[in-house]
Amino acid sequence: DSGVTQTPKHLITATGQRVTLRCSPRSGDLSVYWYQQSLDQGLQFLIQYYNGEERAKGNILERFSAQQFPDLHSELNLSSLELGDSALYFCASSVEDGATQYFGPGTRLLVL
Amino acid sequence: GQQLNQSPQSMFIQEGEDVSMNCTSSSIFNTWLWYKQDPGEGPVLLIALYKAGELTSNGRLTAQFGITRKDSFLNISASIPSDVGIYFCAGRNTGNQFYFGTGTSLTVIP
């Protein structure tokens, strides 16, 4: 158990819908990262937050957004969902910017 | 986004054999990490390397931070069935950005 929690574990929704994925970092970790992993794909970095502020942006679509709250948990919002958005979404946390990341168990999203 | 070159892409080995995989980058990294991912689960950190030339072991796993700082190696000795999974390397550059390898899928045949 890495100490990073993600909810929900599974999510099934329809095209055009909007969903919110939630992540709680390890106790004491200030940085949160979001990744997308599609079938047969490696981990694609989406976005990073550090102590509530956006720190780095990767291949995140405009339909996606994220935020980190004062209690340091983070949410990833996915809107106008498409079939191709079906993937595993992982959250990772680290104690500070650039430190070793610890991954959560992931949220499996299926868009029908 | 940028990804590291990780090889081999997949391996099929007999139980008890040793395994080697590596990761290379065109740019210098300050940190190399090796993760293992089981199907449907999140990657689990195996070994972290912070210094060029560093050789670190974790049980039957040994990893090295290449002296050029552009590569890293992971060796697994005397493989067992529970070693099955996908192994990812990750590197952190001087800008504190992380990049992940494409993964090595390991199958251990009993």
Query: Tens digits of per-residue pLDDT, B10-55?
Result: 999 999 999 999 999 988 999 999 999 998 788 999 999 999 999 9
Which residues lie below 8 Å from residue A83, measured CB to CB, with a gap of 6+?
A15, A111, A112
For residue A83, report the phi and psi dihedrals to the nearest 5 degrees. -55, -40
Kindly determine whether residue A103 and residue B35, on different chains, have CB atoms separated by under 8 Å.
Answer: yes
Assign B2 a pLDDT band (cuts: 50, 70, 90).
Answer: low
Helix/strand/coil for B103: coil
Name which of B29, B44, B93, B96 to mutate to probe chain A: the one with the most chain A Cβ atoms within 10 A of its Cβ. B96
Task: Please check whether residue B59 is in contact with residue B82, taking contact to mean a CB–CB distance below 8 angstroms.
Answer: no
To the nearest 10°, report the CA torsion of B93, B98, B103, B104.
50
- The pLDDT assigned to A1 comes to 82
- pLDDT tens digits, residue range B78-98? 999 999 999 999 998 887 778
Tokens linked to B65:
């931070």
Task: Please check whether residue A33 is in contact with residue A57, taking contact to mean a CB–CB distance below 8 angstroms.
Answer: no
Question: Which chain B residues are within 8 Å of A101, Cβ to Cβ?
Answer: 33, 45, 90, 98
Kindly determine whether residue B31 and residue A100, on different chains, have CB atoms separated by under 8 Å.
Answer: yes
10 Å CB burial of residue B30 (0-12, 13-18, 19+) is middle
For the beta sheet containing B71-76, the strands, ordered from the edge strand earlier in sequence to the opposite edge, are B5-7, B19-24, B71-76, B61-65, B55-58
Chain B CB within 8 Å of residue A26 CB? no
Assign B3 a pLDDT band (cuts: 50, 70, 90).
Answer: low
- The pLDDT assigned to A40 comes to 67
Residues of chain A with pLDDT under 50: none
For residue B82, report the phi and psi dihedrals to the nearest 5 degrees. -75, -5
The shortest C-alpha distance from B1 to chain A (Å) reads 6
| Strand A102-103 versus strand A5-7 pairing type | unpaired
The shortest C-alpha distance from A83 to chain B (Å) reads 19
